[in-house]
Chain A
Amino acid sequence: MVLKWEPVLKDVISEILETMFFAMVEFQDCGRGDRCFDYESEIELQNHEGRIAISLQLSEGFARMITAGFLGIEENQVKDEDLRDSVKELVNMIGGGYHARINDAAWKLGIPRVWKIGSDPTHRAQAAVRLDFSFFEEPAGSAALSYLAG
Protein backbone atom coordinates (compact mmCIF):
# COMPACT_ATOMS: atom_id res chain seq x y z
CA MET A 1 0.00 0.00 0.00
CA VAL A 2 1.54 3.26 -1.11
CA LEU A 3 -0.40 6.20 0.18
CA LYS A 4 0.74 9.64 1.14
CA TRP A 5 -0.88 9.62 4.52
CA GLU A 6 -0.64 13.26 5.58
CA PRO A 7 -3.26 14.75 3.21
CA VAL A 8 -5.55 11.76 3.71
CA LEU A 9 -5.38 12.03 7.48
CA LYS A 10 -5.94 15.80 7.28
CA ASP A 11 -9.13 15.26 5.27
CA VAL A 12 -10.38 12.52 7.56
CA ILE A 13 -9.70 14.43 10.78
CA SER A 14 -11.27 17.65 9.43
CA GLU A 15 -14.41 15.88 8.23
CA ILE A 16 -14.94 14.03 11.50
CA LEU A 17 -14.24 17.00 13.76
CA GLU A 18 -16.56 19.23 11.76
CA THR A 19 -19.39 16.71 11.33
CA MET A 20 -19.64 15.15 14.76
CA PHE A 21 -17.54 17.26 17.14
CA PHE A 22 -18.37 20.72 15.77
CA ALA A 23 -14.77 21.93 15.68
CA MET A 24 -12.67 23.24 12.82
CA VAL A 25 -8.92 22.91 13.15
CA GLU A 26 -6.02 24.29 11.18
CA PHE A 27 -3.11 22.08 10.30
CA GLN A 28 0.50 23.18 10.49
CA ASP A 29 3.19 21.99 8.13
CA CYS A 30 4.32 18.49 8.90
CA GLY A 31 7.32 18.33 11.15
CA ARG A 32 8.75 16.93 14.31
CA GLY A 33 6.95 18.94 16.90
CA ASP A 34 8.33 18.77 20.39
CA ARG A 35 5.12 19.70 22.14
CA CYS A 36 3.44 17.05 24.24
CA PHE A 37 -0.27 17.07 24.94
CA ASP A 38 -2.44 15.63 27.69
CA TYR A 39 -4.36 12.70 26.20
CA GLU A 40 -3.29 10.11 23.72
CA SER A 41 -5.39 7.63 21.78
CA GLU A 42 -4.48 5.05 19.22
CA ILE A 43 -6.02 2.59 16.83
CA GLU A 44 -4.37 -0.05 14.66
CA LEU A 45 -5.15 -1.34 11.22
CA GLN A 46 -3.64 -4.66 10.34
CA ASN A 47 -3.32 -7.13 7.53
CA HIS A 48 -1.21 -10.23 6.99
CA GLU A 49 1.87 -8.15 6.18
CA GLY A 50 1.91 -5.64 8.97
CA ARG A 51 0.19 -3.02 11.03
CA ILE A 52 -0.45 0.69 10.88
CA ALA A 53 -0.92 2.66 14.08
CA ILE A 54 -2.82 5.93 13.92
CA SER A 55 -2.12 7.93 17.01
CA LEU A 56 -3.66 11.13 18.25
CA GLN A 57 -2.58 13.47 21.03
CA LEU A 58 -4.88 16.21 22.29
CA SER A 59 -4.63 19.03 24.78
CA GLU A 60 -7.00 18.69 27.71
CA GLY A 61 -8.78 21.94 26.80
CA PHE A 62 -9.43 20.88 23.23
CA ALA A 63 -10.45 17.36 24.27
CA ARG A 64 -12.92 18.83 26.77
CA MET A 65 -14.32 21.22 24.18
CA ILE A 66 -14.91 18.59 21.49
CA THR A 67 -16.38 16.19 24.06
CA ALA A 68 -18.88 18.89 25.02
CA GLY A 69 -19.71 19.44 21.35
CA PHE A 70 -20.05 15.72 20.70
CA LEU A 71 -22.35 15.10 23.66
CA GLY A 72 -24.21 18.39 23.37
CA ILE A 73 -23.41 19.50 26.91
CA GLU A 74 -21.53 22.37 28.57
CA GLU A 75 -17.78 22.00 29.00
CA ASN A 76 -18.11 22.17 32.78
CA GLN A 77 -20.43 19.15 32.65
CA VAL A 78 -17.84 16.96 30.90
CA LYS A 79 -16.72 14.10 33.14
CA ASP A 80 -13.27 12.57 32.80
CA GLU A 81 -14.88 9.29 31.72
CA ASP A 82 -16.83 11.08 28.96
CA LEU A 83 -13.69 12.85 27.78
CA ARG A 84 -11.67 9.64 27.50
CA ASP A 85 -14.51 7.81 25.80
CA SER A 86 -15.11 10.60 23.28
CA VAL A 87 -11.40 10.86 22.43
CA LYS A 88 -11.39 7.09 21.92
CA GLU A 89 -14.43 7.37 19.65
CA LEU A 90 -12.70 10.14 17.71
CA VAL A 91 -9.65 7.99 16.97
CA ASN A 92 -11.99 5.10 16.14
CA MET A 93 -13.70 7.25 13.50
CA ILE A 94 -10.35 8.49 12.21
CA GLY A 95 -9.16 4.89 11.83
CA GLY A 96 -12.37 3.99 10.01
CA GLY A 97 -12.11 7.03 7.75
CA TYR A 98 -8.52 6.23 6.89
CA HIS A 99 -9.47 2.61 6.26
CA ALA A 100 -12.20 3.76 3.87
CA ARG A 101 -9.69 5.85 1.93
CA ILE A 102 -7.24 2.92 1.70
CA ASN A 103 -10.08 0.94 0.14
CA ASP A 104 -8.37 -2.39 0.71
CA ALA A 105 -10.46 -5.17 2.22
CA ALA A 106 -7.40 -6.96 3.58
CA TRP A 107 -6.96 -4.36 6.34
CA LYS A 108 -8.86 -4.82 9.57
CA LEU A 109 -9.59 -2.12 12.09
CA GLY A 110 -8.63 -2.78 15.68
CA ILE A 111 -10.13 -1.60 18.96
CA PRO A 112 -9.15 1.95 19.98
CA ARG A 113 -7.32 2.78 23.22
CA VAL A 114 -6.93 6.01 25.16
CA TRP A 115 -4.76 7.10 28.05
CA LYS A 116 -3.62 10.18 29.90
CA ILE A 117 -0.08 11.08 28.99
CA GLY A 118 2.28 10.75 31.91
CA SER A 119 5.85 11.88 32.24
CA ASP A 120 6.97 9.49 29.52
CA PRO A 121 4.73 9.99 26.47
CA THR A 122 4.51 7.02 24.15
CA HIS A 123 3.15 8.93 21.17
CA ARG A 124 4.23 7.10 18.05
CA ALA A 125 4.93 10.54 16.68
CA GLN A 126 8.01 10.83 18.89
CA ALA A 127 9.66 8.69 16.22
CA ALA A 128 7.67 9.74 13.17
CA VAL A 129 6.46 12.72 11.24
CA ARG A 130 3.52 14.26 13.03
CA LEU A 131 0.67 16.40 11.89
CA ASP A 132 0.11 19.24 14.33
CA PHE A 133 -3.15 21.15 14.41
CA SER A 134 -4.50 24.15 16.22
CA PHE A 135 -7.86 25.55 17.20
CA PHE A 136 -8.09 29.33 16.94
CA GLU A 137 -4.30 29.53 16.87
CA GLU A 138 -3.96 27.53 20.10
CA PRO A 139 -2.11 24.21 19.75
CA ALA A 140 -4.84 21.58 20.01
CA GLY A 141 -3.18 18.30 19.16
CA SER A 142 -1.24 16.20 16.73
CA ALA A 143 -1.76 13.05 14.72
CA ALA A 144 0.73 10.52 13.49
CA LEU A 145 0.76 7.38 11.46
CA SER A 146 3.37 4.68 11.93
CA TYR A 147 4.04 1.47 10.02
CA LEU A 148 4.79 -1.38 12.40
CA ALA A 149 6.35 -4.72 11.68
CA GLY A 150 4.35 -7.93 12.02
Chain B
Amino acid sequence: MSYNVLIVDDSRSMRKVIWKILRLLRFELGECLEASNGQEALDILEGKWIDLILADVNMPVMDGVGFIRSLREKNICRDTPVVFVTTEANEDRLNQLMDLGASGYIRKPFRPEEMGAFLSRIMGETDGFKMGTSVEGCDF
Protein backbone atom coordinates (compact mmCIF):
# COMPACT_ATOMS: atom_id res chain seq x y z
CA MET B 1 0.00 0.00 0.00
CA SER B 2 1.30 3.44 -0.82
CA TYR B 3 0.55 6.58 1.14
CA ASN B 4 -0.14 10.10 -0.06
CA VAL B 5 1.83 12.37 2.25
CA LEU B 6 1.76 16.13 2.81
CA ILE B 7 4.68 17.84 4.57
CA VAL B 8 4.00 21.33 5.92
CA ASP B 9 7.13 23.20 6.96
CA ASP B 10 8.54 26.62 6.13
CA SER B 11 12.03 25.12 5.97
CA ARG B 12 12.76 23.69 2.54
CA SER B 13 15.71 21.80 4.03
CA MET B 14 13.57 20.22 6.71
CA ARG B 15 11.05 19.10 4.10
CA LYS B 16 13.88 17.50 2.11
CA VAL B 17 15.20 15.77 5.23
CA ILE B 18 11.78 14.34 6.09
CA TRP B 19 11.28 13.00 2.55
CA LYS B 20 14.69 11.42 2.73
CA ILE B 21 13.93 9.80 6.08
CA LEU B 22 10.60 8.46 4.80
CA ARG B 23 12.42 6.88 1.87
CA LEU B 24 15.12 5.49 4.15
CA LEU B 25 12.36 3.96 6.25
CA ARG B 26 11.00 2.31 3.08
CA PHE B 27 7.75 4.17 3.60
CA GLU B 28 5.67 3.44 0.49
CA LEU B 29 5.13 6.90 -0.91
CA GLY B 30 2.29 7.68 -3.26
CA GLU B 31 1.76 11.35 -3.98
CA CYS B 32 4.32 13.62 -2.26
CA LEU B 33 2.98 17.07 -1.52
CA GLU B 34 4.56 20.06 0.21
CA ALA B 35 3.43 23.34 1.71
CA SER B 36 5.44 26.02 3.47
CA ASN B 37 2.70 27.06 5.91
CA GLY B 38 -0.74 26.08 7.13
CA GLN B 39 -2.62 28.23 4.64
CA GLU B 40 -0.80 26.72 1.67
CA ALA B 41 -1.52 23.29 3.08
CA LEU B 42 -5.25 24.04 3.36
CA ASP B 43 -5.27 25.17 -0.28
CA ILE B 44 -3.61 21.91 -1.34
CA LEU B 45 -5.93 19.77 0.74
CA GLU B 46 -9.11 20.99 -0.98
CA GLY B 47 -10.30 17.92 -2.84
CA LYS B 48 -7.21 15.79 -2.19
CA TRP B 49 -7.01 12.44 -0.44
CA ILE B 50 -4.06 12.43 1.95
CA ASP B 51 -3.04 9.53 4.18
CA LEU B 52 -0.59 11.36 6.43
CA ILE B 53 0.21 14.98 7.26
CA LEU B 54 3.56 15.87 8.84
CA ALA B 55 3.57 19.49 9.95
CA ASP B 56 5.76 22.01 11.72
CA VAL B 57 4.29 24.22 14.45
CA ASN B 58 6.18 27.51 14.19
CA MET B 59 5.52 28.81 10.71
CA PRO B 60 4.76 32.22 9.24
CA VAL B 61 1.33 33.09 7.74
CA MET B 62 -0.51 30.22 9.48
CA ASP B 63 1.16 28.17 12.20
CA GLY B 64 0.48 24.57 13.16
CA VAL B 65 -2.19 25.42 15.72
CA GLY B 66 -4.10 27.54 13.18
CA PHE B 67 -3.70 24.81 10.58
CA ILE B 68 -5.12 21.93 12.61
CA ARG B 69 -7.88 24.16 13.98
CA SER B 70 -8.88 25.07 10.41
CA LEU B 71 -8.79 21.41 9.39
CA ARG B 72 -11.21 20.54 12.14
CA GLU B 73 -13.48 23.56 11.64
CA LYS B 74 -13.72 22.93 7.90
CA ASN B 75 -14.00 19.19 8.42
CA ILE B 76 -11.12 18.51 6.04
CA CYS B 77 -9.09 15.29 6.36
CA ARG B 78 -11.02 14.37 9.46
CA ASP B 79 -9.58 10.84 9.56
CA THR B 80 -6.07 11.68 8.38
CA PRO B 81 -3.33 11.42 11.00
CA VAL B 82 -1.68 14.79 11.61
CA VAL B 83 1.76 14.49 13.19
CA PHE B 84 3.72 17.55 14.23
CA VAL B 85 7.47 17.51 13.72
CA THR B 86 8.61 20.41 15.80
CA THR B 87 11.07 22.18 18.04
CA GLU B 88 8.11 23.39 20.09
CA ALA B 89 8.69 22.84 23.80
CA ASN B 90 5.74 24.71 25.23
CA GLU B 91 3.65 22.00 26.90
CA ASP B 92 0.49 24.11 26.78
CA ARG B 93 0.86 24.55 23.05
CA LEU B 94 1.59 20.85 22.50
CA ASN B 95 -1.44 19.92 24.60
CA GLN B 96 -3.50 22.36 22.57
CA LEU B 97 -2.44 20.53 19.39
CA MET B 98 -3.42 17.19 20.91
CA ASP B 99 -6.77 18.61 22.06
CA LEU B 100 -7.39 19.77 18.49
CA GLY B 101 -6.91 16.21 17.27
CA ALA B 102 -3.21 15.85 16.44
CA SER B 103 -2.11 12.22 16.34
CA GLY B 104 1.09 13.12 18.15
CA TYR B 105 4.34 15.01 17.82
CA ILE B 106 7.98 14.26 17.20
CA ARG B 107 10.41 16.64 18.86
CA LYS B 108 13.42 17.85 16.92
CA PRO B 109 16.18 16.77 17.01
CA PHE B 110 15.19 13.17 16.34
CA ARG B 111 16.79 10.09 14.84
CA PRO B 112 15.21 8.49 11.75
CA GLU B 113 14.55 5.31 13.75
CA GLU B 114 12.45 7.32 16.21
CA MET B 115 10.34 8.67 13.37
CA GLY B 116 10.02 5.12 11.99
CA ALA B 117 8.78 3.73 15.28
CA PHE B 118 6.36 6.59 15.74
CA LEU B 119 4.91 6.39 12.23
CA SER B 120 4.61 2.59 12.40
CA ARG B 121 2.37 3.02 15.41
CA ILE B 122 0.34 5.88 13.93
CA MET B 123 -0.15 4.17 10.56
CA GLY B 124 -0.87 0.77 12.11
CA GLU B 125 2.03 -0.88 10.27
CA THR B 126 2.55 -4.03 12.31
CA ASP B 127 5.85 -4.87 10.61
CA GLY B 128 7.05 -1.35 11.25
CA PHE B 129 9.03 1.04 9.09
CA LYS B 130 12.66 0.04 9.31
CA MET B 131 15.76 1.77 8.12
CA GLY B 132 17.23 0.74 4.81
CA THR B 133 20.80 1.47 3.83
CA SER B 134 20.18 3.44 0.68
CA VAL B 135 17.69 5.92 -0.57
CA GLU B 136 16.06 4.81 -3.79
CA GLY B 137 14.26 7.31 -5.92
CA CYS B 138 15.61 10.19 -3.91
CA ASP B 139 16.03 13.13 -6.23
CA PHE B 140 17.93 15.65 -4.18
- A residues near B (Cβ < 8 Å) are 15-16, 19-20, 67, 70-73, 81-82, 85-86, 88-89, 92-93, 95-97, 99-100, 102-103, 105, 107-111
Contact = CB atoms under 8 A, between A and B. Distances in A.
Contacts of A108: 90
Given A71-B16, A73-B140, A111-B58, A105 B90 contact: yes
Nearest to A88: B11
Tell me whether chain A's interface is mostly helix, strand or loop, or mixed.
helix
Interface residues of B, number: 26
B109 A15 contact: yes
Contact of A92 (B87, B91, B93, B111): B87
A69 to B, nearest CB: 10
Contacts of A109: 58, 87-90
A57 to B, nearest CB: 19
A16 B107 CA distance: 11
Contact of B140 (A20, A71, A95): A71
A15 B107 CA distance: 13
A100 B105 CA distance: 14
A92 to B, nearest CB: 6
Contacts of B17: 20, 70-72
Interface of B: 10-14, 16-17, 20, 58-60, 86-93, 107-111, 135, 140
- Give the top 4 A-B pairs by smallest Cβ distance, nearest first: A96-B87, A100-B89, A19-B109, A99-B89
A11 B35 CA distance: 32
B13 A72 contact: no
Contacts of A70: 13, 17
Given A19-B109, A19-B111, 4 more contacts: A82-B13, A105-B90, A108-B90, A111-B58
Contacts of B140: 71, 73
A126 to B, nearest CB: 26
Contacts of B13: 67, 70-71, 82, 85-86, 89
A105 B86 contact: no
